A and B are shown apart, each in its own frame.
Chain A
Amino acid sequence: MEPQIVYYARPEYIETDTGNKVSRKSVICGSQNIILGGKTIIQTDCVIRGDLRRTGVGHAVVVAIGRYCLLSRGSIIRPPYKTYKGMFSYYPMKIGDHVTIGEGSIVEAATIGSFVHIGKNCVIGRFAIIKDCCRIEDNTVIPPNTVVPSFSIYEGSPGVCVDELPECVQDLYESQTKDFYTKFQPSN
């Protein structure tokens, strides 16, 4: 099914020089610690916790998100944390290009590669590593520290590998994210 044009209210979104579209109704904490690669969309009610940074270190990138990413409505990006040698600390998170995060999903991963699709209502546990070219189906829970290798489809709770993605998935997700960006238009 051909995706339809999605219209948004022009006043709701801020468009940056590099083409990022960020909803004013999202909660972006510590924006100085967040990098958006360009042409990335952050929809209504999203939360990005750029303020949760490593203790003791000064200015640092907490959340780095690549190009043509989509944080759908109500998704939450929160850097992972752990206590190491008795010290509680947050750790940075990196998200690649052409990554779609579905509605209401919570992401606490260490890294998410490029060309990744995360469905709706997923939980990506702390320090999970999702490699390039992966698909996480709706309502999946990826437990903390899980490694999801490339070309996997994960599903369930806890998420397990249920299938492999076809070889052309990179082209597929690239065109999907680009298509979504071009069809995400102000309504007036």
Chain B
Amino acid sequence: MTAEAVNAARPFVHYHCSCPDVNRSLSLLTLKENEAKESDKKIAEDRDDDNNTEINKNKEYANTTKEDTLFPLDAYSPRTVFSTFALSKLYFCEDCHQIRCPRCVQEEIVCYYCPNCLFEVPTASVKSERNRCARNCFQCPICQNTLTVVASTEPPPVTPATAVPPRLLPNTAPAPPPPVPTPQPTGAPYFLLCGVCRWDSQEINMTFEKATGLALQLQKTEDEKPDVKEFEHLKEHFEKHLRTNAPSTTLSSHLFLFPGLNGFSSRYGSSGSTQNQPKSDDVTPYEAAVKVVEKEGLVKELTNLDNPNAVTTLTQRLDQLSDQPYKVEKLQPQRIHLRTKRVKRCRTCHHILIKPEQKAQAIKFKIKLVALNYIPKITIAKSPKLTVNQKTQVILKFSNPLDVEVDIKLTTKEKDAYGTIAIPTSEFGISPYNEVWEYDDEDFGTDRLPSRGRHSQAAANTHGTEGIFEKKGSYTSIILEVTPLAEMEEFRFPLLVTYTYKATIEIPTPDDTKLDKSSTNKSDNVDKTDTGADTSTTTAETTSTIAPSTNADTDNEPEAILTKEITKSLSFCTTIGLGSVAKVSPAPPTSSSSKTLTGVGSSSNST
């Protein structure tokens, strides 16, 4: 109910990713603006370097940036939009123990498929089919809807809708023509029809003999298009140079790889392309294969048009890249673009973060390291309307996705030009996640009585120093006190979150530890004849060698199990938006009291 009203300026919590690559170039650029070009060069070189050196450099830069400023981002800068994301869009690299965003992952295409007929296209034929569906899937040139195949002469009782099945059941059979109710005259010329704007391909004299393999029937005309010819010619021209110059066979395939949706990054991961460039100077001059004569009268024709609808829209023009026609009658149906499924890797350590199942229609993932399962989720539980110079309490809810207790520490800019933010309790803990609690135990029907208790708790909070609003299940809600100093469309502030937890890591297999530890410490004591015969004694021995060290660290579990507790910690920055700030209204004194939590509690009780 209130959620609808808030919709206009929706509050948000966005997480900042300190992308190693981007930050490095940024810091370089800001430090030495004059040497901008050089830094670019350097980055290009770095890409070709060993992974190891790159990682080290990244660490270096990450450290420097952290030392430079506590808050790497200015909440009001338009640039932050590009480095902050909703939690759902982020990944988490376990090896780097860092957040990864769409900018700092590297993608590899694992599967191409048509989004309409859902057929998978083998990688080998993607190039020759020019990245589009080679079956019966076409896009309306006018409205981008998917076109349907229709027979022109049909048995009377059947309405056009019947001819639709080709697209409905593409998986079962190669598109059955209207299921032959009458003898041979099956409605021979077929055409494409748009069910939305009623465009039909007969308008441009495009008809088909058969209802199947339409793309194949059109292939000849498509191959004759000047841009296709020119591209083939270009490819021919350069490919032979590349072949002679570059022994690395991957190069040519990389150069002509058509990236799918967002698939560009895979190109940057390729190595060796820059190293061979010096040699390629001796490319013979290229001469165009096709010369397209610009029609002269076009501008005149266009200026004399009466009907604005006779000119194509930008979308229509850009959908037909081959000639980008200005006149509507030149528009042609386009084969539907293929989509891809991609593996995503951490760009720093190259470990896989996302690995989808190969099949086009599967929605499962073999590997799925999303930030949602690793870092605390922050939601704005209550954010009343903000007013200039008025202290307002905002409740942030921190949920713990981990199965261990997490300690949170918050830091913010307490005062800037836009307002002040106070966090009464900036350090608190969150209980571990437990799926059973999450939904079954939370009975709101009974909870509404204890909300009196919550009420009193909140009341107590206003007196005491405690800024914790609620601690329950696997979440903790805390109170922030926000006082905006100016009227604005969106009040934002940065919040640096540090979370710490104790992780139990398994010490590798007994054999490994034996190799690691006993070789260094006890190699002399271990009786070499025993090792093969009795493994249990050797494990006991190794644990005993390790147990003292674990005890020293954590004084936990005197009986030696092959695990070790370590403390893990990660800081990340978020930007929080709280919606618009209203003018200083001549607010009656009661309104300010309604903004405090006691007021909120009582109002929820009354409803």
Report whether A166 and B370 are in contact in the complex, using a CB–CB cutoff of 8 Å: yes
Are B372 and A149 in touch, CB under 8 angstroms? no
Contact of A82 among B161, B363, B372, B442 (CB under 8 A): B161
A127 nearest CB neighbor, chain B only: B168
Report the minimum CB–CB distance from A136 to chain B (whole Å): 15
As a 0/1 sequence over residues 79 to 112 of chain A, the CB contacts with chain B under 8 angstroms (1 = contact) are 0001111100000000000000000000000100
In the complex, the answer to whether A147 meets B439 with C-beta atoms within 8 Å is: no
Which of B1-9, B73-81, B300-308, B415-423 is near enough to bind chain A? B1-9
Query: A28: CB under 8 A from chain B?
Result: no
Does the CB pair A168–B444 fall under 8 Å?
Answer: no
Please tell me if the beta carbons of B370 and A185 are within 8 angstroms of each other in the complex. no
A83 to B165, CA, bound (A): 12
Binds B, one of A2-10, A30-38, A48-56, A57-65: A2-10
In the complex, the chain A residue whose C-beta lies closest to that of B87 is: A168
In the complex, the answer to whether A145 meets B168 with C-beta atoms within 8 Å is yes
The answer to whether A168 and B372 touch across the interface, beta carbons within 8 angstroms, is yes
Cβ distance B346 to chain A, nearest Cβ, rounded Å: 14
Tell yes or no: B397 within 8 A of A by CB.
yes
A164 adjacent to B261 (CB under 8 Å): yes
Chain A residue with the shortest CB-CB distance to B10 = A1
In the complex, A172 Cα to B399 Cα: how many Å? 14
Q: How far is the CB of B450 from chain A (nearest CB, A)?
A: 14
Please name the 9 residue pairs, one residue from A and one from B, whose CB atoms are nearest each other, closest first: A86-B157, A168-B370, A158-B145, A2-B381, A149-B115, A2-B379, A158-B196, A132-B363, A166-B88
Check A167 against B370 for contact (C-beta < 8 Å): yes
Scoring A residues 124 to 167 as 1 if CB is less than 8 Å from chain B, else 0, what string do you get?
Answer: 00010001110000000001111101111000001011001011
B269 to chain A, nearest CB (A): 20
B162 touches A83 (CB 8 A): yes
A146 adjacent to B146 (CB under 8 Å): yes
Shortest C-beta distance, A114 to chain B (Å), equals: 9
Closest to A175 in B: B438
Q: From B344, which residue of chain A is reached at the shortest CB distance? A: A167
Count of chain A residues with a beta carbon within 8 Å of a chain B beta carbon: 46
Is B261 a contact of A168 with CB atoms below 8 Å?
Answer: no
Contact between chains at A147 and B115 (CB < 8 Å): yes
Q: Does A171 lie within 8 Å of B372, measured CB to CB?
A: yes
Residue from B363, B383, B439, B604 in contact with A150 in the complex, judged by beta carbons closer than 8 Å: B363
B444 to A82, Cβ gap below 8 A?
no
Beta-carbon contact of A185 and B161 below 8 Å:
no
Asked whether any CB of chain A lies closer than 8 Å to the CB of B607, the reply is yes
With beta carbons under 8 angstroms apart, the residue of A127, A144, A152, A179 that contacts B115 is A152
Q: Assess the B88–A169 pair: CB atoms within 8 A.
A: yes
Q: Are B159 and A83 in contact (CB-based, < 8 A)?
A: yes
Q: Assess the A178–B363 pair: CB atoms within 8 A.
A: no
- Flag whether B382 is at the interface (Cβ < 8 A): yes
Contacts of A143 in B (CB 8 A): 145-146, 195-196
- Contacts A1-B380, A2-B381 given; indicate if A147 touches B117 (C-beta within 8 A): yes
- Taking a contact as CB atoms under 8 Å apart, the answer to whether B379 and A1 are in contact is yes
- Report 29 cross-chain contacts, Cβ distance below 8 Å, ordered by A residue: A1-B10, A2-B382, A3-B3, A4-B2, A83-B157, A83-B161, A85-B179, A115-B363, A131-B118, A143-B146, A144-B161, A145-B146, A145-B164, A146-B145, A149-B113, A158-B145, A166-B88, A167-B354, A167-B370, A168-B368, A168-B370, A168-B373, A172-B88, A178-B438, A179-B439, A182-B442, A182-B444, A185-B448, A187-B607
Query: Residue A170 at the B interface, CB < 8 A?
Result: yes
Q: What's the least CB distance linking A184 to chain B, in Å?
A: 9
Asked whether any CB of chain B lies closer than 8 Å to the CB of A25, the reply is no
Query: Hey, which chain B residues are within 8 Å of A110, CB to CB?
Result: 168
Q: Which chain A residue has the least Cβ–Cβ distance from B451?
A: A5
Q: How far is the CA of A129 from the CA of B438 in the complex (A)?
A: 33
Query: Is B161 within 8 A of A6, CB to CB?
Result: no
Most B CB within 10 A of own CB, among A4, A168, A170, A175: A168
B335 within 8 A of A: no
Instruction: Report the minimum CB–CB distance from B580 to chain A (whole Å).
Output: 14
* Chain B hits for A2, CB < 8 A: 379-382, 397
Q: Is B535 an interface residue (CB 8 A)?
A: no
Could you tell me if B162 and A82 are in contact, using CB atoms closer than 8 angstroms?
A: yes
Shortest Cβ distance from residue A55 to the other chain B in the assembled complex, whole angstroms: 15
Determine which of B89, B118, B381 lies in contact with A147 in the assembled complex, contact meaning CB atoms within 8 Å: B118
Q: What A residues does B179 contact at CB under 8 A?
A: 85
What are the residues of chain A within 8 A of B439 when measuring CB–CB?
178-179, 182
Residues of chain B at interface, number, CB under 8 A: 56
* Alpha-carbon distance between A167 and B365 when the two chains are bound, in angstroms: 8
In the complex the two chains form, what is the Cα distance from A131 to B117 in whole Å?
12
- Determine if B136 is an interface residue (Cβ-Cβ < 8 Å): no
Take A7-B607, A167-B354 as given contacts and tell me if A185 and B196 are in contact as well, using a CB distance cutoff of 8 Å. no
Contact between B361 and A150 (Cβ–Cβ < 8 Å)?
yes
The residue of chain B having its C-beta at the shortest distance from the C-beta of A171 within the complex is B372
Query: Which residue of the partner chain, among B11, B363, B607, contacts A170 with CB atoms under 8 Å?
Result: B363
Q: Is B461 an interface residue (CB 8 A)?
A: no
Find residues 135-157 in chain B having any chain A CB closer than 8 Å to their own CB.
Answer: 143-146, 148, 157
Bound complex: CA A158 to CA B444 (Å) = 41
Please, how many angstroms separate the alpha-carbon atoms of A39 and B11 in the complex? 29
What residues on A are CB-neighbors of B145 within 8 Å?
A: 143, 146, 158
Which residues of A are found within 8 Å of B10, using beta-carbon distances?
1
**Residues of B153-212 whose CB lies within 8 A of A:** 157-159, 161-162, 164, 167-168, 179, 181, 195-196
A1 and B11 contacting across the interface, CB-CB below 8 Å: yes
> With A145-B195, A149-B115 known to touch, is A86 a contact of B158 (CB < 8 Å)?
yes
A2-B380, A168-B370 given as contacts; is B363 within 8 A of A158 (CB)?
A: no
Known A-B contacts A2-B381, A168-B88, A182-B439; the reply to A84 vs B196 at CB < 8 A is: no
Residues of A close to B372: CB separation below 8 A: 168, 171-172
Query: With A82-B162, A83-B162, A168-B368 as given contacts, are A161 and B167 in contact (CB-CB < 8 Å)?
Result: no
Residue in B148, B363, B604 whose beta carbon sits within 8 Å of that of A145 in the complex: B148
A3 CB contacts on chain B under 8 angstroms: 3
Partner of B1, one of A6, A131, A182: A6
For the complex, what is the distance from the CA of A3 to the CA of B382, rounded to whole Å?
10
Bound-state CA distance A131–B167 (Å) is: 15
Complex CA gap A132/B10 in Å reads 27
CB contact between A166 and one of B89, B144, B339 (< 8 Å): that residue: B89
Chain B residues within 8 Å of A145, by CB: 146, 148, 164, 167-168, 195
Q: How far, in whole Å, are A145 and B370 apart by their CA atoms in the complex?
A: 34
Across-interface contacts of A85 in B (CB, < 8 A) = 158, 162, 179, 181
Q: How far is the CB of B533 from chain A (nearest CB, A)?
A: 49
> Which B342-379 residues have C-beta < 8 A from chain A?
354, 356, 361, 363, 365, 368, 370, 372-373, 379
Instruction: Specify which chain B residues have a CB less than 8 angstroms from the CB of A167 in the assembled complex.
Output: 354, 356, 365, 368, 370
Choose among B6, B89, B144 the residue that contacts A158 (Cβ–Cβ < 8 A): B144
Residues of A within 8 A of B438 (CB): 175, 178
Contact A4 B1, beta carbon cutoff 8 Å: yes
